[in-house]
A and B are shown apart, each in its own frame.
Chain A
Amino acid sequence: METTVGLNHYLILAALLFCIGIAGVLTRRNLLIIFMSVELMLNSANLTLIAFSHYLVNAVGMVFVFFTMTVAAAEVGVGLAIVVTIFRNIESLDIRKLNVLKH
């Protein structure tokens, strides 16, 4: 049986990566690791866009990915700045230590 890698394979891979990212955000306690999990989710969305773009022969998806990447870079810039500020103040990256604000 000949099988080639098709659209569904890409979509399933992307969905799995997305779920791994969600699991990472929900279970990890280190700020940087949570951050990396979010990036994984974004990239799985990018993979979905590119896969659809290729199979629909439509460049819109690829253009979208350019913008997603740029936005992600801007987010990383601001995010790292906040993380560095926090580290200077509390000497830790554990989110459990961030508990000044309570409901």
Chain B
Amino acid sequence: MFDSLIADMHVSRLIPEIFVIGLALVAILVDVVLPRGRSTRGVQITVLIGLFAVIAATVLGKENTGEAFGGMVVVDGFTFFFRLLLAIITFLVVLVSEHYIERLNIRIAEYYLLLLFSLFGMLLMAMAQDLLIVFLGIETMSVSLYALVGLSRQKHTSNEGAIKYFLLGAFTTAIFVYGIALMFGVVGSTNINDIVTFLSGLGDSMPLLAWAGAGLILIGFGFKAALVPFHWWSPDAYEGAPTTITAFMSTAPKAAAFAAFLRVFYIAFGEMWGEWTVVLWWIAVLTMTFGNLLALRQDSVKRMLAFSSITHAGYLVIALLTFDRIGAAAMLFYLVVYALMNLGAFLIAIAVNRDESEEKGYWFDDYKGLVFRKPALALAMLVFMLALAGIPPTAGFFGKYYIFASAVNAGFVGLAVIGVLNSAVSVYYYLRLVVYMFLRDREAREREGPLWITDEITNVVFLCLVLVLLVGLFPDALLTFATNSVKMLL
């Protein structure tokens, strides 16, 4: 019996996840064993080596697909795509963090441990085939992030961001669990394949309880992906968090939230899709417009990027609501592109910010004359801003193009037009930063402080820059990869 149970679990399909947990345990032991002061460096190196092994295990185990743990999780091309994306983002963030957390005076090994735990949660979300695993993944990710946001304990902004994120997060967790409970009451199972079998057997007589359950689950995902009107935590949490964590939060957890959102809604609630498109249509419009309007008024680059990340989530919802393979592939494409350009922009913002002990900082004014002080950095920022605004020949252009094309293809022409108008508005605040970089006045010269550039930041920014331009010139390879990854979903 023992052997057959083990064989049924297909543990080998979860090797990357097991590596992450094993890595976390080893990292804890490294932290405990090494003397204080030297332990963070040791933990960072351990985590980097371990994450490399995780990525390698993912690539080597690409062909080992199928369900595992009795259908609780499924390993397929979609899982593979997100495993790679999430592990690579985490790797890059860990790589640039050591000097930054030293600068912030929060040089503790727990920083890396929490990042690993949240990575584990996100991996679970990407592979979950049961609402229980979705829930556990979301919570593992979120609880680690609450702590990461509040890591600069002396800063009021960090405290405030953390408590707002935490209270609203716990609030939506309760709503999410209640939604799952109602769904369980209707279906008698939490597996998404069972849910779709049951609901499609009902035909038109969908019980009210199923609608309520699915609606509450939608709220849960809307919160995690920071969609309007569930976005209130995100600007504050993003501003309060250490900036490396902001870069992480606006890319990886957002991708994981959309991965779980897509799998659950496309498969489990596919039967109800016609009605959901109306809701998601409004959510998409509100999310894009709202994020844009608020981003227009910001004086802080960190806050501007935080609000604009809400707008980008709106574009992703457009791709989501097409409910076809083209839209899903466009969403995956955009998630990669967005991760690259956002990571690059945040890292440059870290380099330009003068004083981390300030409560706020990251002012637009600090960028005045940047192009004369450090041309390479300013040009890199220029590329990232063009990419975020969706201007060719960068990857950002193709990301948006595929999304709007998929919307038109699925018959949502109005939505595509609103999306294009919104991205035209966003050009204003992205290019405003570019204009600041080319300005030079006397006042700006007085404000000039040393730039804070480390080798790691230079390397990662360079990598992001090259990839953004490469994907912009040759988008087909990534699009083919994305299309292949969503094949099994629809």
Which A residues form the contact surface with B (CB < 8 A)?
11, 18, 21, 25, 31, 34-35, 38, 41-42, 44-46, 48-49, 52-53, 56, 58, 60-61, 63-64, 67-68, 71, 74-75, 78-79, 81-83, 85-86, 89-90, 95, 98-101, 103
Contact = CB atoms under 8 A, between A and B. Distances in A.
B174 A45 contact: yes
A102 B188 CA distance: 45
Nearest to B176: A45
Contacts of A53: 184
Contact of B146 (A21, A25, A79, A90): A79
Nearest to B142: A75
Given A25-B167, A45-B178, 4 more contacts: A42-B173, A42-B177, A71-B173, A101-B161
Interface of B: 132, 135-136, 139, 143, 146-147, 150, 153-154, 156-157, 159-164, 166-167, 170-171, 173-175, 177-178, 180-182, 184-185, 188-190, 235-236, 239-240, 294, 359
Contacts of B159: 82, 85-86, 89-90, 98
A78 B147 contact: yes
A68 B153 CA distance: 28
B354 to A, nearest CB: 19
Contacts of B171: 25, 38, 41
Contacts of A44: 178
Nearest to B168: A25
Nearest to A51: B185
Nearest to B156: A100
9 pairs of A and B residues whose beta carbons are closest in the complex: A41-B174, A48-B181, A52-B185, A45-B178, A45-B177, A49-B181, A71-B139, A101-B236, A38-B170
B154 A89 contact: yes
A67 B235 CA distance: 30
A55 to B, nearest CB: 8
B178 A82 contact: no
B420 to A, nearest CB: 26
24 contacts: A25-B171, A35-B167, A35-B170, A38-B174, A44-B178, A45-B181, A48-B178, A49-B184, A52-B185, A64-B181, A64-B190, A68-B135, A75-B170, A75-B173, A78-B143, A78-B146, A82-B146, A82-B159, A86-B160, A86-B163, A98-B159, A101-B161, A103-B235, A103-B294
B146 A64 contact: no
B188 A74 contact: no
A50 B333 CA distance: 41
B185 A48 contact: yes
A98 B160 contact: yes
B178 A41 contact: yes
Nearest to A31: B163
B240 A101 contact: yes
Nearest to B159: A86
A26 B359 CA distance: 28
Summarize A's interface: helix, strand, loop or mixed: helix
B177 A61 contact: no
Nearest to B212: A15
B184 A64 contact: yes
B150 A82 contact: yes
A101 B239 contact: yes
A5 B181 CA distance: 20
A60 B173 contact: no
B410 to A, nearest CB: 34
A67 B132 contact: yes
Interface centre among A38, A79, A82, A89 (most CB of B within 10 A): A82
A58 B135 CA distance: 19
B359 A82 contact: no
B171 to A, nearest CB: 6
B220 to A, nearest CB: 11
Nearest to B131: A64
A99 to B, nearest CB: 8
Contact of A82 (B154, B156, B166, B175): B166
Nearest to A56: B188
Contacts of B189: 58, 60
Contacts of A58: 188-189
A100 B153 contact: no
B143 A74 contact: yes
B167 to A, nearest CB: 6
Contacts of B359: 100
Nearest to B298: A103
A100 B239 CA distance: 11
Contacts of B184: 49, 52-53, 60-61, 64
A98 B139 contact: no
B160 A100 contact: yes
Contacts of A35: 167, 170
Contacts of B177: 42, 45-46, 49, 68
Nearest to A100: B156
Contacts of A21: 174
Contacts of A63: 132
A81 B143 CA distance: 12
A4 B359 CA distance: 60
